[in-house]
Amino acid sequence: MKETIFFLATPIAASIILAGMLGYFGTHILTRRIIFIDIAVAQIAALGTMIGLLLGYTEGSLEVQVLSYLCTLLIIGGFAFLKSDSLPIPLEAVIGIIYCLGLALSILLAENLPGGANFITKTITGSILWVTWKNVYSLALLFAGIGTIHILFGNRFFQLSNRQGVGAGGTIPNDSFWNLLFYITFGIVVVKAVLIAGIFLVFSLLIAPAVASSMFISSWKGRLVWSWIIGLAGTITGILFSYSMNISNGPAVVCLLGILVFVLALIKLVRPIQHSSINKP
């Protein structure tokens, strides 16, 4: 029993950090209505890693990480200056095309890399169960720095996300700068998180808790708190379940979070019907 607790302590610690940071960014992304941006960014980051491996660098090396961040920042910079109302096609379509393009290029490159197919699978599903304390410490340090930035300038980021979400007028001083800073920090978080949890789990932690909390809570702070609680509970439950059943941890967590969202959505749909029936004379 003690051995199991010590073994699972590391992925659970990583889950606490990931759920907190991704829950925060998920609230922003949901407000901005760019739901699939993280999965596109994550795939481009994986493409950068694949390029580094093909160049002969080892997985996890500094060179590979630099290439991954460069590819990510290239895409993120574009999103920061895009104006959705001036695009000839919807922004979500642009994001979807970027994701498909990144995945297709990764598959093509993987054909020339020994074990390339396994790497793609690992990138998608992740391996949070095998995270080390060294990974947890570096994750905590990086996210603490990004968290500090958002604590100091969180009000500006909130105003910008809210204005973009509702399409209202008005400007924020140095609008492009704050938008770029938001996307850069977001990109760094996604790249680091994908290395530990995989694309699908990162996407689920970013969107599912934010969607679940937004169905019942209107306040910004309330959604943040409940996004963290839901993400944390879902991840820990999924890790414990996958470990006990000897199944993949990433897909298990994704399934739990996905089912939870649909259950809550069903409750949300049923409750107004019940209330209207009660109020009838």
DSSP for 232-262, please give it: HHHHHHHHHHHHHHT--HHHHHHHHHHHHHH
Tell me the one-letter amino acid at 7.
F
In whole angstroms, what is the distance from residue 244 CA to residue 240 CA? 6
Q: Which residues contact 245 (CB under 8 A, 6 or more apart)?
A: 252
Q: Give the C-alpha distances (Å, rounded to integers) separating 280 from 3, 87, 267, 271, 276.
A: 59, 47, 20, 14, 6
Q: Which two tokens stand for residue 93?
A: 């379509």
Long-range pairs, 273-277, Cβ under 8 A, ≥24: none
For the chain, list residues with pLDDT below 50.
Answer: 166-173, 274-281
Q: What is the DSSP letter of 272?
A: H
DSSP H/E element including 4: helix 2-32
- 2-197: which CATH number, 3.40.50.300, 3.30.470.20, 1.10.3470.10, 1.10.1040.10? 1.10.3470.10
Q: Which residues contact 110 (CB under 8 A, 6 or more apart)?
A: 50, 116, 117, 119, 120
Return the CA Rg of the chain.
20
In whole angstroms, what is the distance from residue 202 CA to residue 189 CA? 10
Interhelix angle 37-54/2-32, rounded to 10 degrees, is 120
pLDDT of amino acid 170: 43
Closest CA to 253 of 265, 241, 266: 241
Q: Which residues of 121-156 are buried (b: 16+ CB within 10 A; e: fewer)?
A: eebbbbbbbebeeebbeebbebbeebbeebeeeeeb
Q: Which two tokens stand for residue 106?
A: 């990764």
pLDDT of amino acid 142: 93
CB 185 within 8 A of CB 149: yes
In whole angstroms, what is the distance from residue 223 CA to residue 216 CA? 9
pLDDT of amino acid 162: 82
Phi, psi of 167 (to 5 degrees): 70, 25
pLDDT of amino acid 1: 66
User: How many Cα atoms occupy the beta-carbon half-sphere of 249 within 13 Å?
Assistant: 23
- Sign of the alpha-carbon torsion through 142, 201, 235, 232: positive
Q: What is the DSSP letter of 58?
A: P
DSSP H/E element including 69: helix 62-81
